[in-house]
Structure 1
Amino acid sequence: LFSLSATLLWLCVTQLACGTGAVGETKNVVQKDAEFDVTYNDTVTSENQTIYAFNHTVSRNKTEGVHVSVDVLSQGLESPILFVVRQKQAVLSFQVPLILRGLYQRKYPYNHVGRTLCQPPTRAASETQYFFVDVSTLSSQGTNYQLRVSRVESFTLQTDKKFTFTASPSQPQYFKYVFPDGVDTVIVKVNSDMNFPCSVMSIQDIQCPVYDLDNNVAFIGMYQTMTKKGAITVQRKDFPSNSFYVVVVVKTEDEACGGPLRFYPLRPDELIDAGNRTKILDVMVSPAIDSKVYVMGMLFCLGIFFSFYLLTFLVACMENKRSVIAKKNEKLQPLRTSTAPSVSPPQFPFHLNLYCRVDFNRLPSSAADNGSTLSSEAITDSATSTDNNYGYMERSLDSVGRSRQESLSSVEEDDYDTLDDINSDKNIVRTKKFLCVSDLARKDKRVLSKKYQIYFWNIATIAVFYALPVIQLVITYQTVVNVTGNQDICYYNFLCAHPLGALSAFNNILSNLGYVMLGLLFLLIVLKRDIVHNRALVRNDLNALECGIPKHFGLFYAMGTALMMEGLLSACYHVCPNYTNFQFDTSFMYMIAGLCMLKLYQKRHPDINASAYTAYACLAAVIFFSVLGVVFGKGNTVFWIVFSVIHILATLLLSTQLYYMGRWRFGKITTCIRQCSGPMYIDRMVLLVMGNIVNWSLCLRPHREAERLRLLPVGHRHLQPLICFSVQLRSGERIQCLALVCILFTAVVWGFALYFFFQGLSTWQKTPAESREHNRDCILLSFFDDHDIWHFLSSIAMFGSFLVLLTMDDDLDTVQRDKIYVF
């Protein structure tokens, strides 16, 4: 309005003054009747002004564009030429040379300017409209110019029909599109074979003026930068006129698209030659999917994961039927001569260490030194100082079973393992060449159950406090995108981003449903096993009490919760994926990987596994480094060298801790090196070497920060169980059919999942325009893309990995713990 008012005021003053200039000279005003597609060569000075009058017929059913093209033939102008186009409902003004500014206010002059006039809708079936082009300047020297006004025959885009055009910074192009009947959503695709110059595509409502220059194209509508590809999904509900403009602008500089940075001018008023920045592009508007495809996509997603619930129910029914038949056969068999092995009193020093308190200041020095032998006097003193020690030893197996079911709230780990010789005892047991599970399962089950339940409660607390601010932040991100129209904020696959409500890419969010549903299913499976195991303890089943791997379910509950949170946070990340919230997608990946490794280690080392507080503190440090990698690691070679060195040193330290079962000193290691002796624990050494090779290989991926941050937890999750299975087979242990099926199924699914993961449909490591070069169309049901399939397959693969950990030692449920090998 201000521009219109100023222009009209200037024209009125000029007419009323009868051509009188600022210096009192007479200005000649010449009006010419002009025609389309005719080139007018003329000269303008401060003493004369030329007005070109055009008229054309506008039809309600057909829209034709009008393009004004101007060339200034003179060089070294004192003052630019001002062109003012007066229309019925708009005024367009521009100067030639046109000065466009880039980064750091650098100035680029353009002597050739072309602008398209906006075409406001008309209510009449047909009417004649007039517009005028006024040419004036304040330069006293004569300036030659060329003016040409032409019709744009292909101003209105057709559905599914490609149109090719040329654009430059001083000659932007825009076209009109009208929604056909029955189409509510379309995808506007703009492509080019040229990476540079960088350009911007914009979707604007039908109104005047049209913002079609580099310095104002971001004022209204939706817009995104592009090199070779650009795509924006447009919905009819956002445009009351049922039509919109597709605007394409070539930028004056390429920094926004990742191009080189031009030199900085020496003088503030220096003009920089922009060179040839013409770009050939094509635009095509295609109908997007309808509501039926949305419904099919949601039903497909739900159907896949509900099938796992159905399959689990069928397997549970088969297992229950088999157990019932086994019990019937057991009742029909004749009574055995001995239904249970004889139970002897607990042997010293194991149970004495757990349930007796001994003052080692009263022991002989030889016993205190090695902890392997105790004098009869020490034993007698210990028994005298404790009222009911041998009374406990004479208790029946029934009383032992009842004691294990007491409330956990009254049990503290500090009540046990408090003897002064405990460290010596650990040195003797854990440094044996061949360890059995019974050597590392000496603590009371009630204590360990409470210890491992803390994993679940801690991760539940972490999940609540982590998820709430994440949800609030991504809602803010999505609101900013919808309000500003800036499509460069979020790194979607724009060729397969289906909006729903306020969400820009609903399909990427929906595909994360598998993590939540399968995580919940895993929790239900673990709960069933927990109930069955507790019932076995209540009826004093010897297999549950003394055989197999000790069963503790706290870590399994934590793993299922972490899988559900991974789905929730991955969905939050895909609301608006970018480098500032990338850690939302990876944090619980690290949590899952850490919990899986802890569970794998806990199975045969229940007494010496890390506490929940230590484990989560270490995982917090890992997540902290991953955040640093996102913020500072982009293209920073020094950071990744430091990160890799820290990672390698940390894995070496952890490997040493695992190799010596926590009973090591630097002096022991240097002595072994000095003596050049071979490793005492061959299998353990091979296992750790293979694990370290996997770790170090994942560090050697330069300039692939996002993949590296994701591959670390993914690699740990499925490679370490495979290594452990190889050791199990070497130890002569057999794998049950269910576990073998889970292993093979999980390995195959992981292979396909990683294939789709490496497709790389977008990457926040590059500029938004460069990221869009990797965008591809949907490949499943016209609704899901490659990354959605990665979500499907990875959630199934994680669920399978969890089942592998849950069932991998089921064949040992009837094997005495002193016959199960520790590796």
Structure 2
Amino acid sequence: MVLSSSWKSRHKRRGCWVGPGLAALLWFCVCTQFICAVRAVGETPNVVQKDAEFDVTYNDTVTSENQTIYAFNHTISRNKTEGVRVTVDVLSQNLKSPILFVVRQQQAVLSFQVPLILRGLYQRKYPYNHVGRTLCQPPTRAISETQHFFIDVSTLSSQGTNYQLRVSRVESFTLQTDKKFSFTASPSQPQYFKYIFPEGVDTVIVKVNSDKTFPCSVMSIQDIQCPVFDLDNNVAFLGMYQTMTKKGAITVQKKDFPSNSFYVVLVVKTEDEACGGPLLYYPLRPDELINAGNRSKILDVMVSQAINLEVYVMGMLFCMGIFLSFYLLTLLVACVENKRMNKKREVFESPADTSPAETGQTPALPYEYGSFLDNGSTLSSEAITDSATSTDNNYGYMGQEPFKRRPFLNHLHHIAIRIERSLESVGRSRQESLSSVEEDDYDTLDDINSDKNIVRTKKFLCVSDLARKDKRVLSKKYQIYFWNIATIAVFYALPVIQLVITYQTVVNVTGNQDICYYNFLCAHPLGALSAFNNILSNLGYVMLGLLFLLIVLKRDIVHNRAMVRNDVSALECGIPKHFGLFYAMGTALMMEGLLSACYHVCPNYTNFQFDTSFMYMIAGLCMLKLYQKRHPDINASAYTAYACLAAVIFFSVLGVVFGKGNTVFWIIFSVIHILATMLLSTQLYYMGRWRLDAGVLRRIVYIIYTDCIRQCSGPMYIDRMVLLVMGNIVNWSLAAYGLIERPNDFASYLLAIAICNLLLYFAFYIIMKLRSGERIKCLPLVCILFTAVVWGFALYFFFQGLSTWQKTPAESREHNRDCILLMFFDDHDIWHFLSSIAMFGSFLVLLTMDDDLDNVQRDKIYVF
């Protein structure tokens, strides 16, 4: 080829001239590309397009040299929605290359291969030769419209592959409200249906049921759009979804779907491990590959209308009304009691000009419990006068006669007491600051430290023996319980609230309904909360805890006023009044309600300790209060008590995380449980007058030798021994049960240990109170009976078990049940109502059970 000089000179001037060799190379490349294109056109497979019809089965063969296109015409109507389903069967075996099916619609493309390969856990592969898919239906604005879609069938296999193709209409594609529809699904044949919100309906519940537990299934709610994610490996990409075995339910709100409609997608999983079932073996042989796909399941779906706004309002008013009635009842009882006291005061009130010697009243100094006579008895003039003029209150131990004096001797003794108190008060400033009070500086007796071993080892102790320390010291000591638990509550609640808000946000954003263990058949959403009713029902803990604090505050004020006016009954009679533990108990009850509500925002495996932590504290505080009533001087300090409770919560967390089936953990916990029981028993039996040091084993052997072998004498403190023996039997039995059975719910097991010990000690206290000649007044007796009945009903509803985080979410949903109260509250909500009332009643029992001792001298009240 010769290039002209003009052409050459022109391109030289433009800077792009090429030589003759390069030009020849370019022509060669162009020719080569032309020859390849011609050859490729010659190898293009033969494309055959067929006009196809619905409900006709097409048997055909496909190879790499031919391709078939099936053309369908589909008429859709705006008033009637019909689904289109494509079903494909591959008849050939041992395929080297799969067949590719591509469905081309006007607004979507769906493609799948046969055999369909689905992956399970650890990337296990499961092939399916029978595939059925439903085509998505884009919305139409026209009254009637004809749409065209095409199905392309192709393969890269040179061998002929036989297949069957059938396209049919799904007549029941749209679900009706309150009408059950049954169908069959499998991993390769998922199903989905459309639901349109009727006018006036804002929320519905989609319920799916099955008679078979397995195979495991997935229920999904998706917006109307293409494509629809209806396979095991993509169903979680859009909308809300949850695994299910026999039951599944999702509450759907109209505001979340702009088109006022949604798809209900049902997919059967390739494996059952997500639902707690066995993991399938890995298929190896070709026949096993085929049989791996036999996982069909019959499902029933029904969409029903959820509750409306009126039910929400009724539920909230009902909840508020129940607990406000306790406020009204408390106010009524307080008015009646105040009226009764005023009448009593009018009858027994002395004239204003009567001298103290005539009335028998002693202007005792504040913050003192009374004078100690030579015989160690604490006497007050009021108590002496009462005992001289009345024989109604016969408080003795084992039939002991009451203390009596004649009125003339009472007056003389009253004058002696006033002189003695005046001498003792010299040098002590009554305006001394409480902040400077130290426990060791203000013992009533100077030699209290050396006297402890003598006083506390007497065979029969009175409250006066264990109420010697200054009231200011003890009040300050027990107020620490309240301030510590208030501090704990703030630092505990803030991160808990933040965490559960994050949980709820994750659920709302991802749509994963397996994160939280609700009772989905009775979970009523409100705003961002998925189960508002479970949160609302915890209101009782907060309101009744606040009411208890108000009752304690009222009693505290009345007692302080009595102390200011030098009331001898307040100074020297009855159980010493210390309200710090009561304040801590009321605060713990309120915090239990708050943390239980936080737990029920998203109940699951990781935050269950939120619901139980303050239950442990409530049980521990109640036991401490029972012990404090008769042992005010030697009760545990707040720091020790909360440290022990922290250890309990620590073991609770360890048990939840590591306790399931862990033999080593259960052995260690059982040993610690038994050792702690023995140490606590020793502490209670000897009233703290023992030492844990290197010589403790030698002293134990010596006591066993002298008391059991040498002289075979019985225990010195029989009552305490009976209690501790029973306590050890109960705790050793619980430890053995835990070691043998290893319950999955370790937190509830630990709570059961605390409750059993509390009930045992409470029963012992009541029995010993009656055995000591004391009585129970009407109000605490009514509280005891009422609380026992309410606890019984509460435990019945607790053990209904509507959900459990010990199992998989799908297995937990098998326990779900419908609402039983006002169409708004379920069994667990009723447990919240009744348990809060029962706890409030239990606190009232602790507060009032010793009111009969308010006018009894402390040296007449026995310790047990």
How far is 1:507 from its partner? Answer: 0.3
Match of 1:233 in 2: 251
CA RMSD of aligned residues (A): 2.8
Match of 2:149 in 1: 131
**8 Å contact from structure 1 (residues 163, 282) kept in 2:** yes
Q: Distance in 2 between matches of 1:685 and 1:261?
A: 55
Residue from 822, 832, 835 that aligns with 1:781: 822
Residue from 685, 689, 708 that aligns with 2:721: 685
The answer to whether the aligner puts 1:488 opposite 2:519 as a matched pair is: no
Residue from 664, 669, 680 that aligns with 2:700: 669
Q: Deviations over 1:741-770 (max 9, x none)?
A: 111111111111111111111111101001
- Residue 541 of structure 1 aligns with an amino acid whose one-letter code is D
Q: Deviations over 1:120-179 (max 9, x none)?
A: 110000111111111000000000000111111111000000001100000000000000
**8 Å contact from structure 2 (residues 127, 293) kept in 1:** no
- Residue 481 of structure 2 aligns with an amino acid whose one-letter code is Y
The answer to whether the aligner puts 1:219 opposite 2:237 as a matched pair is: yes
Alignment of 1:325-474 (within 5 A): 325-331=343-349, 337=358, 339-340=360-361, 346-347=372-373, 394-396=420-422, 407-417=433-443, 422-474=448-500
Normalising by structure 2, we get a TM-score of: 0.85
Match of 1:360 in 2: none
**8 Å contact from structure 1 (residues 454, 612) kept in 2:** yes
How far is 1:56 from its partner? Answer: 1.8
Find the residue that maps to 2:221 and give its secondary structure.
Answer: strand
Q: Deviations over 1:542-573 (max 9, x none)?
A: 11001110000011111111110110011000
Match of 1:320 in 2: 338
Task: Evaluate the alpha carbon distance shift between residue 445 and residue 549 of structure 1 in structure 2; reply closer, same or farther with a 3 A threshold.
Answer: same
Task: Evaluate the alpha carbon distance shift between residue 21 and residue 584 of structure 1 in structure 2; reply closer, same or farther with a 3 A threshold.
Answer: farther
Match of 1:122 in 2: 140
How far is 1:342 from its partner? Answer: 11
Q: Distance in 2 between matches of 1:693 and 1:813?
A: 35
Q: Distance in 1 between matches of 2:147 and 2:729?
A: 77
Specify the structure having the higher radius of gyration (Cα). 2
How far is 1:265 from its partner? Answer: 7.0
Q: Distance in 1 between matches of 2:86 and 2:38?
A: 29
How far is 1:88 from its partner? Answer: 1.1
Q: Distance in 1 between matches of 2:849 and 2:231?
A: 64
Find the residue that maps to 1:156 and give its secondary structure.
Answer: coil
**8 Å contact from structure 1 (residues 589, 714) kept in 2:** no
Match of 2:210 in 1: 192
Residue from 306, 310, 329 that aligns with 2:328: 310
The answer to whether the aligner puts 1:529 opposite 2:529 as a matched pair is: no
**8 Å contact from structure 1 (residues 455, 554) kept in 2:** yes
Residue range with higher mean Cα deviation, 44-53 or 653-662: 653-662
Match of 1:642 in 2: 668
Q: Deviations over 1:294-320 (max 9, x none)?
A: 000000000000000000000000010
Alignment of 1:502-521 (within 5 A): 502-521=528-547
Residues matched between the structures, number? 768
How far is 1:777 from its partner? Answer: 0.5
Q: Deviations over 1:208-258 (max 9, x none)?
A: 000000000000100000011100000000000000000000001111111
Q: Distance in 1 between matches of 2:667 and 2:788?
A: 32
Task: Evaluate the alpha carbon distance shift between residue 719 and residue 349 of structure 1 in structure 2; reply closer, same or farther with a 3 A threshold.
Answer: closer
Residue from 570, 576, 588 that aligns with 1:550: 576
Q: Distance in 1 between matches of 2:153 and 2:833?
A: 63
Residue from 188, 194, 197 that aligns with 1:176: 194
Task: Evaluate the alpha carbon distance shift between residue 337 and residue 436 of structure 1 in structure 2; reply closer, same or farther with a 3 A threshold.
Answer: same
Match of 1:146 in 2: 164
Percentage of identical aligned residues: 85
Match of 2:9 in 1: none
- Residue 162 of structure 1 aligns with an amino acid whose one-letter code is K
**8 Å contact from structure 1 (residues 634, 765) kept in 2:** no
**8 Å contact from structure 1 (residues 549, 604) kept in 2:** yes
Q: Distance in 2 between matches of 1:147 and 1:616?
A: 72
**8 Å contact from structure 2 (residues 129, 290) kept in 1:** no
How far is 1:712 from its partner? Answer: 3.3
Find the residue that maps to 1:603 and give its secondary structure.
Answer: helix
Residue range with higher mean Cα deviation, 18-27 or 122-131: 18-27
Match of 2:748 in 1: 707
How far is 1:669 from its partner? Answer: 3.2
How far is 1:425 from its partner? Answer: 1.8
The answer to whether the aligner puts 1:765 opposite 2:806 as a matched pair is: yes
Q: Distance in 2 between matches of 1:401 and 1:173?
A: 92
How far is 1:689 from its partner? Answer: 2.9
Find the residue that maps to 1:802 and give its secondary structure.
Answer: helix
Residue range with higher mean Cα deviation, 394-403 or 554-563: 394-403
Residue range with higher mean Cα deviation, 425-434 or 605-614: 425-434
Q: Which structure 1 segments of 5+ residues have no match?
A: 1-16, 352-389
**8 Å contact from structure 1 (residues 226, 772) kept in 2:** yes
Task: Evaluate the alpha carbon distance shift between residue 566 and residue 234 of structure 1 in structure 2; reply closer, same or farther with a 3 A threshold.
Answer: same
Residue from 57, 63, 69 that aligns with 2:87: 69
Q: Distance in 2 between matches of 1:638 and 1:786?
A: 36
Residue range with higher mean Cα deviation, 626-635 or 733-742: 626-635
**8 Å contact from structure 1 (residues 589, 713) kept in 2:** no
The answer to whether the aligner puts 1:40 opposite 2:58 as a matched pair is: yes
Match of 1:88 in 2: 106
Normalising by structure 1, we get a TM-score of: 0.89
Find the residue that maps to 2:749 and give its secondary structure.
Answer: helix
**8 Å contact from structure 1 (residues 451, 611) kept in 2:** yes
The answer to whether the aligner puts 1:539 opposite 2:565 as a matched pair is: yes
Task: Evaluate the alpha carbon distance shift between residue 716 and residue 301 of structure 1 in structure 2; reply closer, same or farther with a 3 A threshold.
Answer: farther
Residue from 294, 299, 304 that aligns with 1:276: 294
How far is 1:29 from its partner? Answer: 0.8
Q: Which structure 2 segments of 5+ residues have no match?
A: 1-34, 365-369, 378-415
Q: Distance in 1 between matches of 2:39 and 2:429?
A: 109
